[in-house]
A and B are shown apart, each in its own frame.
Chain A
Amino acid sequence: DSGVTQTPKHLITATGQRVTLRCSPRSGDLSVYWYQQSLDQGLQFLIQYYNGEERAKGNILERFSAQQFPDLHSELNLSSLELGDSALYFCASSALGNTEAFFGQGTRLTVV
């Protein structure tokens, strides 16, 4: 158990819909990262938050957004969903100044 909790584990939704994925980082970790894993793109970095502020942005679509709340949990919002958004979405967390990231079990999103 990495200490990073992601909910839900599985999500099936229709095209055009909006979903929210939730991540609770390890206790004390201030950084949260979101990654997307798909068959064609592999593991892609989406976005990083540090103590509530956006810190780095990767290959995140404009239809996607994220935030980190004062209690340090984070949410990834995916809107106007397309079939190609079907993927495994991982959250990871790390401590201040530590590049070692711990990953959650992921949320498997299926868009039908």
Chain B
Amino acid sequence: AQSVTQPDIHITVSEGASLELRCNYSYGATPYLFWYVQSPGQGLQLLLKYFSGDTLVQGIKGFEAEFKRSQSSFNLRKPSVHWSDAAEYFCAVVPFGNEKLTFGTGTRLTIIP
């Protein structure tokens, strides 16, 4: 079945530490790939997207993501997290030939001092 999976429900990291959030997808053709962030009480903000080309994409707020076709993954990374990065992160896909976003279940990120 077609799906997008975020295996980690909740991740806690120390401020200044590196971060990697996992995302795997299961689609016949590589979909368009996105990462969104939702701060408490806020809407969804696009961090970055991958359509084609360079497999390492840079986004806003110092985030980057790497597309790995062989692993059907699109993991989000940040070298050094800040307390303001505490939020819910959603991986999303737009399947080929489609227009609507399908979201993963989200990963809640907690930052500790």
Give the B-binding residues of A (Cβ under 8 A). Answer: 2, 4, 31, 33, 35, 42-43, 45, 48, 55-56, 58, 90, 92, 94, 99-106
Select one of B43, B51, B106 contacting A106, CB under 8 A.
B43
- In the complex the two chains form, is A56's CB within 8 Å of B45's CB? no
- In the complex the two chains form, is A45's CB within 8 Å of B42's CB? no
Residues of B in contact with A, size category: 20 to 34
20 CB contacts below 8 A, A to B, read A2-B43, A31-B99, A33-B100, A33-B101, A35-B101, A43-B90, A43-B106, A45-B100, A45-B102, A48-B99, A48-B100, A56-B98, A58-B100, A92-B101, A99-B99, A99-B101, A100-B34, A100-B46, A103-B44, A105-B42
Give the A-binding residues of B (Cβ under 8 A). Answer: 32, 34, 36, 42-46, 49, 51, 90, 94, 98-103, 105-106
